[in-house]
């Protein structure tokens, strides 16, 4: 399953789930946890071009050592520089394996950890191999089944994670985007027609609707505001995905390929 | 003591079961609750009201024609869970069946089930049996 956030993406097993998502594009932290003891952690921070990565890494390991000392656990670590990245491993309160690398002026800590002493080689290899910083025309965002692609660099202004509903909102100079994912799609569509449900969900009650292969598109143009709404049903995952874009010009309007 | 017991009863009625204890539980339907299968997979539950028929207030309520049962309608998803609350299925097993039936992720089925079972438990429609350590 893909997890894409703030310009980077990774793959994780289907039964893992995001447990923490904080921060912004310049600095943040994400943890994706397995049902048992494993977790993937990504930390990122804007850095200057000539940053001393070994210093950044030693600071991080010092904090881990301090936590281990507080819990009266022993701590050991190993670091090594190769392929333009610092690779490290640590043992203390559990164990971890990670790498520190700079991509586009952002330092990324990409780490696999466990609160036991189990081997991390295989899951960590999978994490590192799937890690990618976006360089495409559209930027992917994917979390809890909601997967969309939007203009790169948009600011995430609101996030809502509820059981059965995920909602993300972004803004930039060109406009505003809202994407939502609704679980129990079949059960929703058994009670409402797809069109009437999508109109309500997108808050586009008076928009012009067009159906294309059981996907609905809504258009509402006003003098200084262009509204586009898209809704599709994904039967494989029993979910409904909607995307609403509001912009001042055609340059900012969304298209179908934004719903991946 | 009377007041302390009354306060305890009032506060404990609203108290939610701890999520970790809930995950170790085996939900069982309250035997006093009867169910009626409706169309489109929905179920209508009838639960007797415990305050009826006892004391002056109960008698007054009976005279005023207040209903002695309260009804709850469970839609398709709720009905699916209700049928699995037989004391044999654990929380984990119900969550797995729910996820597979309605194509939900593990986290989503567990979160939905937690909220739903908490609600059923608060309304005394089910009992959550938790094995205690000896």
The whole-angstrom separation of Cα A136 and Cα A5 is 14
pLDDT band of residue B6 (cuts 50, 70, 90) is low
Residue B16 confidence (pLDDT)? 64
Higher pLDDT, A240 or B57: A240
State which H helix or E strand residue A190 sits in: helix A185-191
| pLDDT tens-digit readout, A162-195 | 888 999 999 999 999 999 999 999 999 999 999 9
Sign, Cα dihedral of A120, A123, A127, A130: positive
Are the C-beta atoms of A220 and A204 separated by less than 8 Å? yes
Residues 17-56 of A with CB under 8 A from B: 17, 35
Q: Is the pLDDT of residue B1 over 60?
A: no
* Cβ–Cβ contact B40 with A under 8 A: yes
CA distance B109 to chain A (A): 8
pLDDT band of residue B59 (cuts 50, 70, 90) is confident
Task: Please choose, from the candidates A107, A112, A125, A98, the residue with its C-alpha nearest in 3D space to the C-alpha of residue A51.
Answer: A107
Model pTM? 0.83
Sign, Cα dihedral of A157, B111, B13, B62: positive
* Cβ–Cβ contact B39 with A under 8 A: no
């Amino acid at each position: 399953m893909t997890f894409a956030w703030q310009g980077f993406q990774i793959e994780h097993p289907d039964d893992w789930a995001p447990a923490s998502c904080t921060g912004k594009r310049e600095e943040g932290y994400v943890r994706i946890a397995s049902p048992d003891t494993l977790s993937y952690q990504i930390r990122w921070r804007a850095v200057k071009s000539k940053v001393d990565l070994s210093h950044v890494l030693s600071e991080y390991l010092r904090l881990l050592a301090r936590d281990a000392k507080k819990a009266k656990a022993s701590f050991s670590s190993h670091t090594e520089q190769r392929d333009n990245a610092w690779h490290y491993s640590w043992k203390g309160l559990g164990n971890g394996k990670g790498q520190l690398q700079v991509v586009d002026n952002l330092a990324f800590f990409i780490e696999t950890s466990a609160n036991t002493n189990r081997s991390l080689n295989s899951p960590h290899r999978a994490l590192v191999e799937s890690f990618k910083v976006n360089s495409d025309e559209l930027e992917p965002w994917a979390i809890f089944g909601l997967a969309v692609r939007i203009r790169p660099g948009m600011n995430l202004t609101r996030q809502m994670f509820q059981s059965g509903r995920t909602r993300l909102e972004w803004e930039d100079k060109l406009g505003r985007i809202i994407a939502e994912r609704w679980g129990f799609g079949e059960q929703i569509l058994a009670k409402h027609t797809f069109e009437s449900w999508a109109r309500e969900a997108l808050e586009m009650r008076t928009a012009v609707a067009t159906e294309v292969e059981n996907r609905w598109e809504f258009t509402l143009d006003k003098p200084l505001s262009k509204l586009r709404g898209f809704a599709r049903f994904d039967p494989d995952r029993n979910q409904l995905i909607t995307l609403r874009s509001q912009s001042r010009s055609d340059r900012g309007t969304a298209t179908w390929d934004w719903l991946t | 003591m009377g007041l302390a017991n009354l306060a305890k009863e009032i506060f404990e009625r609203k108290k939610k079961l701890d999520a970790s204890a809930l995950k170790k539980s085996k939900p069982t339907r309250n035997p006093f609750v009867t169910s009626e299968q409706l169309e489109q997979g929905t179920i209508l539950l009838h639960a007797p009201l415990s305050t009826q028929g006892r004391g002056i207030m109960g008698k007054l309520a009976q005279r005023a024609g207040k209903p002695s049962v309260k009804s709850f309608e469970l839609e398709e998803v709720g009905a699916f869970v209700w049928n699995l609350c037989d004391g044999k299925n654990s929380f984990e097993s119900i969550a797995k069946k729910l996820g597979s039936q309605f194509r939900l992720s593990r986290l989503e089925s567990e979160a939905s089930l937690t909220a739903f079972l908490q609600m059923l438990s608060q309304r005394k429609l089910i009992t959550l049996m938790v094995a205690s350590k000896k």
